[in-house]
């Protein structure tokens, strides 16, 4: 291949003339003579071209695969592999013909570790790939590499800290110590000093919530909307800073806009611009509703933007930032002797740390599905990444104990279930597992109606379900949960304690298995619990948004006055 053609193609690529690049490559080049670097470039052109088809995507993945195979030990080969993984995963949903590319990508990644195991882009693609494959052991291995010094990327490190919540081998002490170390990788921004901002101009207490998830019926929206709806507007002025893509047809965004005093679309703001806006609006209490779910945007909280900065709702663990003053919990989540293992000061709401808005659909009490189906159905609609090996083993024991039973699973994320099913197969219960695809239940009503098939829901551990448990209880479906050892692993316990049905909280795994098995046999007791839930759960702190908002407002009104007094 002549240098002239290579330069011509590179020049056309820079000019974004992707279709012409593709035509030249098809007309003048053979697959054998295309080098790894050019193979990557042609593959990207096929992804970026106008009127792209799934055939173009498949062809692009072939070029990325060839780039890896031709340049295995080079940066061009690594780029081919990382493109194969990231772009393959991006288009895999609904396109099963692309699966073979990801299967081969796993083999290539394991080969590539010999050459690229210290490369951050390579490691990041590995986390993506093995997360999709639900290979928790490989994810742990890559996370440990990153956290043990291979990477200085705050984004990669934060992602790994988030991932560690899925595994029981990390104690809260590990979370705390690594969060402190991780915080040093975040930068501070240029900010006005607090004393330079005239908060006396505020007629009310200006509070602001920052999130990248104010959209598309994200679970966050169901916890925040009634909280801000019922906050005392005579005391508080509420500002929402949305980092989600602006969409005038998005129901969640329109509803939240109507409930807040001010709404700001900040997706296109860089962090410095976002900080400037928050300080311009004289926000006195600023809530992070992201945590490590969005490390890039979380970085604004490394600076002192507002007098009071709080972590709430999105990430149920410590962030390690000395500039985040408080984390909102309750008496069930963090014990007094554990407070030293959180960098934030613990503030506790009287009953529960969050309250769900519920749904507008009409509720109806349903008899146990097993009476009609002639089979006892357990269920979990949690993110499959939360199904730890310990959870698989516990659920397998339950299914073995209950002869005429099945377990329905539906993930909140798109993933490959092959490895998960192999774990159940090893325990001899694969035939009792039914997996429902998320894309068949995209409407909230369809998702909730699936609970009508469930006799008893089973929570995951150590990473508990939160939204899924609230939803199950709203539908009148009892959920067995396991006591945990930190904020994140006690969420299920806090939710169930607030129903008043303590029997559903198991002190250990052995008892978790026992209680689930016994309830499947004692239909009378289970039906009594189901009826109690249906009749009373909406009046509990779980769904009493007005009571929650009052407690929330009282807490922060007190903190505001305390801070103001201390300042004076």
- Which pLDDT score is estimated for 149? 85
Which DSSP category does 29 fall into? -
- Which pLDDT score is estimated for 10? 92
Number of alpha carbons in the 13 Å side-chain half-sphere of residue 517? 16
| 365-410 per-position pLDDT tens digit | 989 999 999 999 999 999 999 999 999 999 999 999 999 999 999 9
| pLDDT at position 325 over 50 | yes
User: How far is Cα 309 from Cα 329, in angstroms, rounded to an integer?
Assistant: 15
| 30-41 per-position pLDDT tens digit | 888 899 999 999
User: How far is Cα 63 from Cα 67, in angstroms, rounded to an integer?
Assistant: 6
| 490-524 per-position pLDDT tens digit | 999 999 999 999 999 999 999 999 999 999 999 99
Residue whose C-alpha is closest to residue 47's, from 60, 35, 64, 37: 60
| pLDDT at position 42 over 60 | yes
- Which pLDDT score is estimated for 411? 87
pLDDT band at 566 (very low <50, low <70, confident <90, very high): very low
User: How far is Cα 265 from Cα 241, in angstroms, rounded to an integer?
Assistant: 6
pLDDT (mean) for 319-346: 98
Please state, for a pLDDT cut of 90, what percent of the chain lies above it: 93
Indicate the SS3 state at residue 254.
helix
As separate numbers, helices (DSSP H) first and strands (DSSP E) second, the chain gives 23, 13
| pLDDT at position 128 over 80 | yes
pLDDT (mean) for 325-348: 98
Residue-by-residue DSSP string for 108-171: HHHHHHHHHTT-HHHHHHHHHHHHHTT-HHHHHHHHHHIIIII---HHHHHHHHHHGGG-TTS-
pLDDT (mean) for 522-543: 97
- Which pLDDT score is estimated for 513? 98
pLDDT band at 568 (very low <50, low <70, confident <90, very high): very low
Record the tokens describing residue 374, joined without a space. Answer: 């002639």
Residue whose C-alpha is closest to residue 252's, from 357, 354, 328, 352: 357
- Which pLDDT score is estimated for 213? 98
In this structure, how many other beta carbons lie within 10 angstroms of the beta carbon of residue 232?
Answer: 14
The average confidence (pLDDT) of the chain is 96
| 423-466 per-position pLDDT tens digit | 999 999 999 999 998 777 778 999 999 999 999 999 999 999 99
- Which pLDDT score is estimated for 296? 97
What is the spatial order of strands in the sheet that 505-506 belongs to? 433-436, 405-410, 376-380, 456-458, 479-482, 505-506
pLDDT (mean) for 330-351: 98
| pLDDT at position 564 over 80 | no
CA torsion sign, 188 to 194 to 197 to 202?
Answer: positive
User: How far is Cα 476 from Cα 363, in angstroms, rounded to an integer?
Assistant: 9
pTM of the model: 0.95
Cis peptide before 462 (omega within 30 of 0): yes
| 218-270 per-position pLDDT tens digit | 999 999 999 999 999 999 999 999 999 999 999 999 999 999 999 999 999 99
pLDDT band at 1 (very low <50, low <70, confident <90, very high): low
pLDDT (mean) for 91-107: 94
- Using the structure block, give the residue that is written with the tokens 């068949």: 440
Please state, for a pLDDT cut of 70, what percent of the chain lies above it: 99
Record the tokens describing residue 481, joined without a space. Answer: 């949960």
Q: Which residue has the higher pLDDT, 568 or 534?
A: 534
């Amino acid at each position: 291949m002549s240098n002239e053609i290579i330069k011509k193609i590179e020049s056309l690529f820079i000019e974004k003339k992707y279709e012409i690049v593709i035509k030249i490559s098809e007309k003048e080049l053979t697959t054998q003579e295309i080098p790894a670097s050019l193979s990557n470039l042609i593959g990207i052109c096929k992804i970026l071209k106008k009127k792209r088809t799934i055939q173009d995507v498949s062809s692009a993945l072939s070029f990325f695969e060839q780039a890896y195979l031709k340049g295995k030990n080079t940066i061009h080969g690594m780029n081919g592999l990382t493109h194969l993984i990231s772009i393959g995963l991006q288009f895999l949903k609904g396109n099963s013909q692309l699966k073979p590319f990801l299967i081969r990508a796993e083999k290539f990644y394991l080969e590539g570790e010999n050459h690229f195991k210290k490369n951050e882009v390579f490691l990041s693609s590995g986390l993506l790939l093995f997360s999709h494959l639900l290979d928790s052991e490989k994810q742990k291995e890559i996370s440990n590499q990153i956290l043990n010094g291979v990477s200085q990327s705050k984004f990669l490190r934060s992602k790994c800290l988030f991932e560690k919540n899925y595994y029981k081998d990390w104690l809260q002490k590990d979370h705390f110590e690594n969060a402190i170390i991780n915080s040093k990788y975040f930068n501070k921004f240029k900010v006005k000093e607090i004393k330079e901002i005239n908060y006396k101009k505020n007629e009310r207490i200006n509070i602001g919530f920052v999130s990248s998830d104010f959209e598309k019926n994200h679970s966050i929206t169901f916890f925040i909307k009634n909280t801000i709806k019922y906050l005392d507007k005579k005391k508080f002025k509420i500002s929402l800073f949305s980092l989600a893509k602006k969409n005038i047809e998005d129901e969640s965004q329109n509803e939240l806009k109507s409930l807040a005093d001010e709404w700001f679309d900040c997706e296109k703001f860089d962090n410095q611009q976002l900080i400037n806006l928050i300080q311009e609006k004289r926000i006195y209490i600023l809530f992070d509703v992201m945590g490590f779910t969005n490390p890039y945007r979380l970085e604004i909280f490394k600076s002192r933007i507002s007098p009071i900065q709080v972590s709430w709702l999105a990430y149920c663990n410590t962030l390690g930032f000395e500039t985040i003053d408080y984390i909102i919990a309750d008496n069930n989540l963090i014990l007094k002797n554990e407070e030293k293992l959180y960098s934030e000061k613990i503030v506790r709401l009287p009953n529960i740390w969050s309250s769900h808005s519920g749904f507008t659909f009409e509720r109806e009490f349903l008899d146990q599905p097993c009476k009609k189906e002639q089979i006892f159905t357990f269920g979990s609609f949690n993110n499959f990444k939360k199904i730890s090996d310990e959870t698989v083993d516990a659920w397998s024991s339950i299914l073995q104990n209950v002869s005429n039973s099945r377990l329905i699973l539906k993930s909140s994320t798109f993933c490959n279930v092959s490895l998960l099913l192999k774990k159940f197969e090893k325990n001899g219960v694969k035939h009792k597992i039914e997996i429902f695809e998320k894309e068949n239940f995209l409407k909230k009503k369809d998702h909730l109606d699936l609970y009508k098939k469930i006799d008893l829901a089973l929570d995951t551990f150590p990473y508990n379900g939160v939204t899924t448990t609230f939803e199950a209880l709203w539908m009148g479906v009892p959920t067995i949960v396991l006591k945990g050892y930190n904020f994140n692993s006690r969420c299920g316990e806090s939710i169930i304690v607030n129903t008043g049905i303590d029997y559903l909280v198991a002190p250990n795994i052995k008892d978790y298995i026992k209680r689930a098995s016994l309830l499947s046999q004692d239909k009378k007791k289970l039906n009594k619990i189901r009826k109690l839930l249906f009749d009373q759960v909406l009046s509990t702190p779980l769904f009493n948004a007005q009571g929650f908002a009052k407690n929330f407002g009282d807490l922060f009104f007190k903190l505001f006055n305390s801070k103001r007094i201390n300042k004076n």
